[in-house]
Structure 1
């Protein structure tokens, strides 16, 4: 099992899951590069808007997003779904952001690995 990060505009790898809340610009709904769309695991609209206004505060964004993923609800359920996908094979978490390293995806990878190690 491998967990990797990619831009949604790149050629897809095995087990690709789009983890952005918003659909990527310029992509059709049937684009084969998307794979599966699990928007429920993405940061809430409020947190995403806050981070867009404060891009220099990635550490605070990271902590707030981990707290969202830990709270009961749709995000935690979607994270549990990702855990099950990762248990059955490789997972590639895709985002439309230009710099995936400064997106929600590294935080999501951390949360996913944490859940996998405790399950």
Structure 2
């Protein structure tokens, strides 16, 4: 199971494996207080894409398209997360105020689709040409 949660929300027992999916550390969060299991910065949207989107809901569809292309180009960044989601709860932590229009939502959607595509067991998919 994959869920998205604001980094400022309290940790819950059902969060499972918690990862921060933002490229920048969230404002107002001390590193020693934020309990997470990983911070794979390479999984976040590129700095250029993040700056272009700038959390503008009107640009979200374009952002989604470009971010999904970045993800497809680098399965090595997200592939390990599939096992976490298959075997328990994967919580994608994000700092954005908008809980519907952010990179964690796009990543969750992407990962869910990949889990569906793979079925019970599968080998890696070739993403050549999906940019």
The TM-score with structure 1 as length reference comes to: 0.86
Q: In the alignment, what sits opposite 2:70? A: 68
Q: Deviations over 1:34-93 (max 9, x none)?
A: 342122111000100110185521100011111111113xxx222112112112211111
Distance 2:91 2:102 in 1: 15
Deviates more, 1:33-42 or 1:62-71: 33-42
Distance 1:87 1:53, change over 3 A: closer
Whole-Å Cα distance in 2 between the matches of residues 55 and 49 of structure 1?
13
8 Å contact kept, 1:11–1:33: no
Size of the alignment, in residue pairs?
115
Using structure 2 for the length normalisation, give the TM-score: 0.79
Q: Unmatched 5+ residue regions in structure 1?
A: none
Query: Distance between the aligned counterparts of 1:89 and 1:53, measured in 2?
Result: 30
Unaligned runs of 5+ in 2: 119-131
Bigger Rg, structure 1 or 2: 2
CA distance in 1 between partners of 2:73 and 2:38 (Å):
23
- Cα deviation for residue 113 of structure 1 reads 0.7
- Counterpart of 2:128 in structure 1 is none
In structure 2, the residue matched to 1:84 is 83
Residue aligned with 2:58, SS: coil
When residues 33 and 117 of structure 1 are mapped into structure 2, their CA distance, relative to the original with a 3 A threshold, is same
1:22 alignment counterpart: 24
